[in-house]
Structure 1
Amino acid sequence: MHAYATRNRREGFALAVAILAIVVIGGLIAGVFFATTEQLRMGRNQQLQARAMAAAEYGQNRTIVPGPVGLGWNAAITNMAMGRVDSLISLNTPDGGRAAVRVTRIGNATYLVASQGTAGSSIRSQARRRTSLLVSVIAPQMNMLGALTTQGSTKVGGSSYIDGTDGTTFPGWSCPNTPPAAVAGIAISDSTAIQTSGCGGLSCVAGSPKIQQNPLAADTTTYFDYGNGITWNTLVAQANKTASGTINGTGPSLVGGVCNTGDAQN
């Protein structure tokens, strides 16, 4: 009879633990990589969105702001028909963005300026943002009491001719076919302050009436306030054209059917 010694066999678990650790570490690495990638994409998207918004605001501001940093308001847009859309304004930003501006006339003096900014490439990623602004065009309202309005002593004579009637409509101008009623030839606060030597019988003055005594002619607001908060100083601050010397032969001047702003005699 033989006796054999028996030994209890223990199953190893080190390999299973190692594999589990590899799986866990791999999952953590994959999670970190995924989170980092998503964060990078989010940062890139936010950057593109910010650039697109900046491009939209850039196009909007350049459309309405005059001066060296802007194109300034185009007078042709002011005169376009009600409801018409002008979408010819396209601008590139210094950082490679693009702005497309559409201006719609929605009222007598009200316009909707919509600017769409685009940043990025359509091949990879792209962002678009849109801004809109209501613009009201305010024109100075001058109280024209007469062809000549004065509050001091006035001497009329020589070759001067003062005409308060308005009966000439220039072709191509958007003026009404029926001219407005005539105004006074000379409006003054004190009619006795007018000297008419060399103009017998007021032959050099026309209007309805030729001379009108009006207390508003003595009011300084008649000459320096033009309504809607516009004053003489407001207009002076916006002036960018200077006329010097003697200018003769003034009249409408066009280039390609558009007002020639570079002609001092225009």
Structure 2
Amino acid sequence: MRAPRLADERGIALAVAVFALVVIGALVAGIFFAGRLEQQTGMNTFFAAQAAEAAEAGLNEAIASQSSGALLALPIDPDPADASSLGSLTVNAGSRVTAARTINRLSDNLFLVRSLGTRADANGAQLAARSIGQLIRLVQADIEVKAGLTALGNVTITGGAEVSGMDAVPPTWDTGVQCPSLDSVAGVRYNDGTLRTSGNGTFDGDPKSVVDATLNPTDMQSDFNKLKALATLTVGSDNPAATGPAYTG
């Protein structure tokens, strides 16, 4: 007599095959998901780099385009909400990469420039943003101009030379140029000696001339050294030779 079978194993191969297909499908889906995630991560990194480069380019362009007159015209206000706009910079036409720049005047000569770089999609939605800022200081030589011409000893204005202490905005300057208020000074300031003209030489001012016995070579050299400290271009000693203040006396 044959013993009965405890279980019927018919159809187990189908179940194993289905299970294997499910596992393989899950593995394939996981691989595709990981690839998609890696691609998206790479795109996000690329967009962030574009935004950062736009912010840096916008900052550099904003600083380079500033003038002392425009900076000094800003009100002193450190609040970022009251920052003055410096406009938007498009890095490349059609690239949807831009930089918005602002500036705050923190004190008399200290300014904070900010640049926010963004990368947007075709619909204008922001994909990435990076912000950068830089403090800049306006350095000015503290020189008090007291005359159109300051000299030591005898002064002769000859030829067609014109010396004037009358303050005025040059007529060829753009109307948008911001200048300090007009303040006329003496035409010629000298310490002693004689003042004369020769030929068509003229001088004018308010007053036309003034004798200042306190003038000395040390003070005149000091003013020149203040300007020299701000120089951004160094010229060789032989071109021109011995660049420096010229005075007599």
TM-score for the superposition, normalised by structure 2: 0.65
How much does 1:174 deviate? 4.3
Question: 2:84 maps to what in 1?
Answer: 86
What count of residue pairs does the alignment treat as equivalent?
Answer: 212
Question: 2:118 maps to what in 1?
Answer: 118
Secondary structure in 2 matching 1:28:
helix
Secondary structure in 1 matching 2:227:
coil
| Contact 1:184–1:211 under 8 Å retained in 2 | no
**Structure 2 Cα separation of the partners of residues 234 and 224 of structure 1:** 15
**Structure 2 Cα separation of the partners of residues 184 and 211 of structure 1:** 13
**Structure 2 Cα separation of the partners of residues 222 and 6 of structure 1:** 121
Question: 1:131 maps to what in 2?
Answer: 132
**Structure 1 Cα separation of the partners of residues 49 and 197 of structure 2:** 71
User: Which whole-Å deviations, capped at 9, do the CAs of 1:64-121 have from their partners, x for residues lacking one?
Assistant: 12xxxxxx11443431222253215111111330111111212111111111111022
Residues 1:11 and 2:12 aligned together: no
Distance 1:162 1:211, change over 3 A: farther
| Bigger relative contact order, structure 1 or 2 (CA pairs below 8 A, ≥6 apart) | 2
Question: 1:46 maps to what in 2?
Answer: 45
Aligned CA RMSD, in angstroms, stands at 4.0
- Paired amino acid for 2:37: E
Question: 1:73 maps to what in 2?
Answer: 66
Aligned identity (percent) is 24
**Structure 2 Cα separation of the partners of residues 88 and 222 of structure 1:** 34
How much does 1:207 deviate? 7.7
| Contact 1:103–1:112 under 8 Å retained in 2 | yes
How much does 1:141 deviate? 3.3
TM-score for the superposition, normalised by structure 1: 0.61
Question: 2:97 maps to what in 1?
Answer: 97
Question: 2:143 maps to what in 1?
Answer: 142
**Structure 1 Cα separation of the partners of residues 212 and 196 of structure 2:** 11
Distance 1:138 1:158, change over 3 A: same
**Structure 2 Cα separation of the partners of residues 222 and 111 of structure 1:** 26
User: Which whole-Å deviations, capped at 9, do the CAs of 1:18-71 have from their partners, x for residues lacking one?
Assistant: 122112111111111111111111111111111111111121111112xxxxxx
**Structure 1 Cα separation of the partners of residues 74 and 114 of structure 2:** 16
Question: 2:106 maps to what in 1?
Answer: 106
**Structure 1 Cα separation of the partners of residues 144 and 86 of structure 2:** 37
Question: 2:34 maps to what in 1?
Answer: 35
- Paired amino acid for 1:40: Q
- Paired amino acid for 2:181: C
| Contact 2:148–2:187 under 8 Å retained in 1 | yes
User: Which whole-Å deviations, capped at 9, do the CAs of 1:176-225 have from their partners, x for residues lacking one?
Assistant: 9xx69x7894346xx45x56477xxxx98948951435333586454354
Question: 1:24 maps to what in 2?
Answer: 23
